[in-house]
Chain A
Amino acid sequence: MVTTSRRPARKRSALRRHATRVGWSFILPNFIGFGLITLLPVLVLFYMAFTEWSAFGSPEFIGLDNFKRLIGDGGFRTALTNTFYYSSVHIPVTLFTSLGLALLLNTKLRGVTFFRTAAFFPYITSIVAIAAVWNQLFSADGVMNQLVGLIGINLDKGWTANSTLAMPALILVSVWRDTGFFMLLYLAGLQTVPRVLHEAAYTDGATTVQRFRYVTWPCLRPTTFFVTVYLTIQSLKVFDLVLLLTRGGPGRSTVVLSQFIYQKGIVEFQYGYASAAAMVLFFLSLGITIIQFLVNRRTAP
């Protein structure tokens, strides 16, 4: 009697073990690679940031010394300020242009399909080619200088050689590159706005602006949230474009956080110090994302 009541239970747990084994076997091929290449380095980062370690020799624990050094490092402060400058313009401008274009493309104008394709193309064009072209457009005799010359502004230097214009130039290229991608997300979001709501608002005499403010914008909330999170991370980690377009120059006017980490870690072999700077990037990205999630949840209707 005891055995009959126990057998199904044992069978069930054996089944569950089997399911677990099979389940893990599906995940493992990817997870082993993912764990070794992504998770492990993140764990090692937490250790390395508290050590003094160069290419030769072994890591030596030094507590918070790297972080104290970061605070006093003018180069690091410049990199951080530049990253914030870049982000604080790049995020809102890209949001605005991508939403604006999505609204424009959501109408019945002709040529919309062509434009959707064209606008997405910069996003998948290699950054090396993009930087090469824009470097020529921004050069002293380039298109941009001739364009602003039309409205009476005469610049004798190229934009990327001008310490005031280098960052705006960088942001301009980023916006040009990213808008098509986020526009696609917004276009997908616009398809979810219920048509009835627009019709109802229309019957009640709402103007175009009012309908956007009270119907479209609230319905786009999930899209806007995702776009903001994604844009923020993308802005904070900006690197390759800077390296190819300005190399952080002229002077240090466009050096960004990722470039500082690369310079210290990969070029100068100051592994510990670079890791401390990388921790700042890590918590900046993660922290801001978490805050965005919390704010989103609290203000959700």
Chain B
Amino acid sequence: MTSSTAPASQRTNRPASLHDRSPLRSVYRALGYLALLAASAFVLLPFVWMIVASLKGNNQVFTVPIEWIPNPVKWGNYIEIWKKSQMLLWTRNTLFLAVVIAFLQVFTGSFAAYGFSKMRFRGRDALFLAYVSTIAVPWQAYMVPQFIIFSKVHLTNTLWAMIALQAFGAFGVFLMKQYFESIPDELVEAARVDGLNEYGIYRRIMLPLAIPAIAALALLTFITVWNDYLGPLVYLRNHDIWTIQIGLSSFINQYNAEYALIMTGSVLSVIPIALIFGFGQRYFVEGVAGTGLKG
């Protein structure tokens, strides 16, 4: 319908933007912007609320109509939260876990991925099948036997349980394998001919080439550990070893009428993730999209 109004030369060169100047096209564009605007509002509303409410006095949080600009701005919430909760301790515990687990996950994941992608040996495919088959099995289905096994070896209620739980995930193996497979086999063969053994090839050739994948895996693992709520809920009873999520949720239960402070704690718990996401966004999107599609 609109195609008849467009010059033929334009049609062959830029088919997607063909009906640029037709009135229907501008209606489409307007509708597109409207949809984008509505979606943005929906996506961002909770974050706006979080920040705004964290800067209000407690009895200003729920007003009809809602005050979207806090007046007066109450920065004091951001001091009070440290006094009322053990945010510092929780953050320290979580940081420790996140760094250790990210390191272990990157190391064991990339090591195994090298074996799966660049070597041929007996039992390899059977081993890989074991990894693949667990994709469809949610943790919730085996958390009870896992909890019992952990308690038999006295791992429950320790930070070691958290490390064991997340350091050996299949996800890291998949992500690294995916990346290693994009590195040509000829490179590995050439190194073998030159007399480098497999460990040398892994360390001197594959790892340096896989920096983007390692960054993606480390960042994703860090975020997973930082955000994990169920693991600590099941395993960590002792308050000294609480992580940020379990600590924050207990704070929310304890001070359930301190609406403004709850939002202050939430904002603080999200800031590190926002920073990491801001800096490593490229790695993220590629890591997620890459493994998502092919893994």
Where the two chains meet, the residues of A that have a C-beta atom closer than 8 Å to any C-beta of B are 16, 19-20, 22-27, 29-42, 44-45, 48, 101, 104, 107-109, 111-112, 115-122, 124-130, 132-134, 136-137, 139, 141-143, 146, 176, 180-181, 184-185, 187-189, 198-199, 202-203, 205, 207, 222-223, 226, 229-230, 233, 236-237, 239-240, 243-244, 257-258, 261-262, 265-266, 271, 274-275, 278-279, 281-282, 285-286, 289-290
Contact = CB atoms under 8 A, between A and B. Distances in A.
A221 to B, nearest CB: 12
A126 B50 CA distance: 13
Contact of A266 (B12, B39, B45, B234): B234
Contacts of A202: 3, 11, 15, 18
Given A38-B142, A128-B248, A202-B15, A136 B53 contact: yes
13 contacts: A22-B119, A23-B124, A124-B223, A124-B277, A133-B47, A133-B49, A136-B259, A136-B262, A137-B46, A181-B288, A237-B139, A266-B147, A278-B144
Contact of B123 (A20, A124, A132, A285): A20
A141 B64 CA distance: 7
Which of A39, A136, A187, A199 has the most C-beta atoms of chain B within 10 angstroms of its own C-beta? A136
B53 to A, nearest CB: 7
Interface in B3-46: 3, 11-12, 15-18, 29, 32-33, 35-36, 39-40, 42-46
A108 B25 CA distance: 12
Interface string B116-129: 10011111100100
Contacts of A136: 49, 53, 61-62, 259, 262-263
Nearest to A260: B140
A122 B273 CA distance: 11
B65 A45 contact: no
Contacts of A16: 121-122
Contacts, number: 295
Interface string B253-295: 0000001001101110110011001000100110011101100
Interface stretch (B74-82, B107-115, B210-218): B107-115
Nearest to A272: B144
B86 to A, nearest CB: 15
B144 A115 contact: no
A102 B112 CA distance: 34
Contacts of A133: 46-47, 49-50, 263, 266
B142 A45 contact: yes
Given A37-B165, A141-B64, 11 more contacts: A32-B168, A45-B145, A48-B144, A48-B145, A117-B281, A122-B46, A124-B227, A126-B270, A129-B50, A188-B289, A262-B140
B90 to A, nearest CB: 11
A278 B146 CA distance: 12
A184 B61 CA distance: 34
Interface string B135-151: 11111111111111100
Given A129-B269, A244-B229, A24 B277 contact: no
Contact of B127 (A31, A119, A134, A141): A31
Interface residues of B, number: 105
A119 B121 CA distance: 43
A239 B140 contact: yes
Contact of A108 (B17, B66, B112): B17
Given A45-B144, A261-B143, A30 B137 contact: no
Contact of B112 (A26, A120, A290): A26
B187 interface: no
B205 interface: no
A217 to B, nearest CB: 17
Nearest to A39: B130
A184 B33 contact: no
Nearest to B127: A27
A134 B49 CA distance: 9
A198 B230 contact: no
B178 interface: no
B269 to A, nearest CB: 5
B292 A226 contact: yes
Given A120-B285, A281-B138, A142 B62 contact: yes
B145 A189 contact: no
Given A237-B140, A278-B142, A34 B111 contact: no
A274 B144 contact: yes
Nearest to A40: B149
Given A22-B198, A278-B142, A127 B43 contact: no
A113 to B, nearest CB: 10
